[in-house]
Amino acid sequence: MPLLAAEIVKDDPGQEAVLDRLLDLLLIAALREWFARPGAAAPAWYRAYADPVVGRALRMLHHDPARPWTVASLAAEVGMSRAALARRFTASVGEPPVSYLTGWRLALAADRLSAPGTPSATASRVRP
């Protein structure tokens, strides 16, 4: 917190970027602490990261969402059969891999569309 407090009063180049990253760090740390509590209602995808296979699959989807993933290609990457991965992923995350990926891509697109500087004409063509 002292670093955040010191940065707030500065008017140096890059201050906005530094504050954004510090706030990201604080949010992530707070969420980790919150989800680590006994009985916490952590999202399924967060809990699924602990599974060595499903966690690896999630990291791949998050790292490269533009890749034309299929259940078969994802299964090949994690060294599991397509059917076994689909069952395990769905049991851990609560939805099949491709459905999860679609939601992730939509979340990324919505985030980009709401970013400062996005032409309002483009944003207005996208409806929920």
CA distance 11 to 9: 7
DSSP type of residue 126: -
Q: Are residues 49 and 107 in the same domain?
A: yes
What's the domain range around 15? 2-36
CA distance 36 to 39: 8
pLDDT band at 89 (very low <50, low <70, confident <90, very high): very high
Q: What is the pLDDT of residues 100-119, one digit of tens each?
A: 999 999 999 888 887 777 77
Residue 115: predicted pLDDT? 74
Q: 40-49 — which CB contacts under 8 Å span 24+ positions?
A: 44/92, 44/93, 44/94, 45/93, 45/100, 47/92, 48/89, 48/92, 48/93
pLDDT over 60 at 123, yes or no = no
Count structural domains, the chain: 2
Q: What is the pLDDT of residues 22-42, one digit of tens each?
A: 888 888 888 888 878 888 888
In a domain, 18, yes or no: yes
Do residues 56 and 76 touch, judged by C-beta distance below 8 A? no
